[in-house]
Each structure stands twice: as C-alpha cells, then as structure tokens.
Amino acid sequence: MTREELNKEIQNELFAEEQKEKRKKWIKRAIKLVIFLIIFFSIFYSYTTYISTVKIEVREYRITNEKIPESYNGLKIIQFSDLHFGSTMFNENVKKIIDICNKRRPDLVIFTGDLINSNYELSKEEQEKLITQLKDINSTLGKYAILGDEDTEKIATIFNQSEFTILRNEYELIYKDNNNPILLIGINKEQDLEKAYNYFKQENHNANIYTITALHEPDKVEDIVGTYQTDLFLAGHSHNGNIRLPFLKYSIFKVNGAKKYDQDYYKINNSELYISSGLGTKSGIRLFCRPSINFFRLSNK
C-alpha cells in the first residue's frame, strides 16, 4: 500500500469516526427533546385537566344605574352557570361552590343553565346529594334558574326540589323593604320573548323599572336589544372559550349560541351583558380561563 493510499484510508476512518460522533450527538439531542416534550405535555395536560378546571375564581362587579331603587343599594347577586356536573365538577366541588356563595351572603342567586353534563349518567346518590347541596345555598330574596340547551325535565325536577324557582319565559318582581321592585326575567331555551316580557304590557307597569334578564345563550341578546327593555343581561354557555390566549380576550373555540358574544363583558346600546365562564367544561380542559362565579353589587350612584 502506497503512502497516499494509507493516508486516504486513515482519512476515511477519521471521517467515519467523526460521522459516528455526530450521529451520537444528534441521537442524544433527539432523546433530550423527546423527554422535554413528554414532560412539557404531561405538565400541560395535568394543569389544563386537573388544576385549571377546578381553581374557581370569584369575579366581582359593581353595577351602577340610576334606575336601581335606593333601597337596593348594595344588593348582592350571585350568578353561577354551566356546572356540567360529571365533567370536571362533582359533589366535592359543588360543596366548595356552595361555601363560596354562602360566604358572600347573596340576596339573589341566579343559575344560567346546563347543570349536568349531557353524556353523564347521574346516579341516584349523586342526585340526592346535589339536591341537598343546592338547597343549602342561602339567599334573602330568592334563588332562580333557567334551563340551558342541555337541561332536561329531570334537571327541572332537581331545581324544584332544591327550592329554586325556574323561570320559563317568565318574570318575577323582586321586592326589598318597600313597594318599589326590580324586575327579573328568565328566558327559556325555547324562547318566547312576548311571554317573557309580558310585564311591560300590563296596564299598571313601571316603564322605568330596573330589569335583569337571565338567558343561557348570549347571542340571543340580539333578539332582545332594541325591541325589549333590559338593563342587565346575565348569560352562560360560552365558557368564555375554555382556552384563551394569555393577556388577550380571544377564545380559541367558539360554540353555537356564543359566536358573537363569548367574552365576559359587553356594552350593547344601553344594556350591559355579563357572561359567566362557567364552572364545568364540555372539553374537559381549561387554559387561561378559570371556572368562575360572578358576584354583583348593585348601586344607583
């Protein structure tokens, strides 16, 4: 073998060794990347599924409107919505919700639809416990509910046994201390607005009465604003998107009935619309959108 051939062979061996080392480094990097991705997605899944879905926050709002009677200054309203029992919410979570509500001593409690997850089979024991828990919610002026798109007559029975009044395209005059009430209207999932707003057809109605309308799907405010009087809308259904971009009010997923209005607050003409992010989930995950309870204080100035 000539010197040139020997040098070429040595060079080939060195090149092969170099390529072998490069492959080892690439494999090590690939293994590290795979391990990192496994850890990242495990943490992401655990947080969005088991932590973010049950860390309930209370969103506090002050509602000011000159139409609110003087005696209602400081009136406290709790709104909760979209429990979707059987998704990420169970009896132990409901107990925490009840404690949060009662701690704030609400005057009015309003549930805005979807109590049980549609694909969850509620056991008799769970139902009895849920009725007892909902019955334990305290309020000075009443507990009210409307039915959401997933609520059946079985859900209506649960609410009735829990001492909630279900408003099915109906209204209720809420009195406190004197004869100057506010008006609460509940829109059913099969809406009948003419029936729901029948108060304003009464001969002795107060045209300037402060009006709260509870409805499940927020996009249905389009059927109401401009035709019927409402000062404050309370809605659910959208879950505020379940997954949102951080620091931006933008939902990744939008559902029918909440395509236009899916965030937590809108001013529409002279009406205010507050949308609960809900308590349970349909997707089973939440990100930058914690389950919440809305807590309102009313004032006329």
Same domain for 95 and 138?
yes
> What confidence score (pLDDT) does residue 128 get?
97
Evaluate if residue 11 carries a pLDDT over 80: no
pLDDT of 40 > 60? The answer is no
Provide the pLDDT for residue 139. Answer: 97
Q: Are residues 122 and 44 in the same domain?
A: no
Mean per-residue pLDDT of the chain: 89
- Looking at residue 105, what is its pLDDT? 97
Q: How many beta carbons lie within 10 A of that of residue 126, not counting itself?
A: 17
> Residue 181: its pLDDT value, please?
95
282 and 170 together in one domain: yes
Q: Which domain holds residue 38?
A: 1-51
Residues 26 and 156 in one domain: no
pLDDT at position 8 is 63
Query: Same domain for 5 and 74?
Result: no
The reply to whether 3 and 121 lie within a common domain is no
* 144 and 276 inside one domain: yes
Predicted confidence band at 41 (pLDDT cuts at 50, 70, 90)?
Answer: low
Looking at the fold, whether 123 and 18 belong to one and the same domain comes out as: no
For residues 139 and 160, state if they share a domain.
yes
Residue 23 has pLDDT above 70, yes or no: yes
Whether the CB-CB separation of 115 and 158 falls below 8 Å is answered with yes
Say if CB 173 and CB 201 are below 8 A apart: no
Name the pLDDT band for 22 (thresholds 50, 70, 90): confident
* β-pair partners for 172: 184
pLDDT digits (tens, 9 = 90+) for 171-195: 999 998 877 999 999 999 999 999 9
Q: Looking at residues 91-95, what average pLDDT do you find? A: 95
What amino acid is encoded at 301 in this protein?
K
List Cα–Cα distances, 269 to 205, 231, 274, in angstroms. Answer: 23, 10, 14
Tell whether 40 and 68 lie within a shared domain.
Answer: no
pLDDT for res 42: 57
The reply to whether 89 and 47 lie within a common domain is no
Minimum mean pLDDT range among 18-32, 79-93, 118-132, 155-169: 18-32
Residue 122 — very low, low, confident or very high, per pLDDT cuts 50/70/90?
Answer: very high
Give the pairing type, strands 271-275 and 76-80.
Answer: unpaired
Q: Which of 109-113, 161-165, 281-285 has the lowest mean pLDDT?
A: 281-285
Rounded to whole angstroms, how far apart are CA atoms 296 and 177? 19
Split into its structural domains, the chain has a count of: 2
Give the best-scoring range by mean pLDDT among 18-22, 96-100, 245-249. 96-100
Burial class (CB in 10 A: 0-12, 13-18, 19+), 117: buried
The pTM of the full predicted model, rounded to 2 decimals, is 0.86
- Mean pLDDT computed over 209-233: 97
Residue 137: closest CA among 147, 126, 145: 145
Q: Indicate if 237 and 277 belong to the same structural domain.
A: yes
Give the domain CATH number at 191: 3.60.21.10
Q: Is 202 helix (H, G, I), strand (E, B) or coil?
A: coil
Average pLDDT over residues 281-295: 87
